[in-house]
Amino acid sequence: MSNCDFYLQHEISGVKQQIANRQVEIAKYASLESKAKTADAQLESIKKLNTQKSHFSSLLNDLANVIPQGVSIQSLTLTGDIKQPVRISFAAVTYDEAVAFRDALATSPIISGADIENVSSNSTGSYTGAITVGFKPGALQ
Q: What does the pLDDT read at residue 139?
A: 65
pLDDT value, residue 25: 84
Strands in the chain per DSSP E:
71-78, 86-92, 111-121, 127-135
**Beta carbons within 8 Å of 74's beta carbon, 6+ residues apart:** 89, 90, 91, 128
Question: How far is it, in rounded angstroms, from Cα 68 to Cα 107?
Answer: 12
Q: What are the residue ranges in the chain where pLDDT is below 70?
A: 1, 49-56, 138-141
Q: Which CATH architecture has domain 53-135?
A: 2-Layer Sandwich (3.30)
Q: Cα separation of 56 and 139, whole Å? A: 10
Looking at residue 96, its pLDDT comes to 92
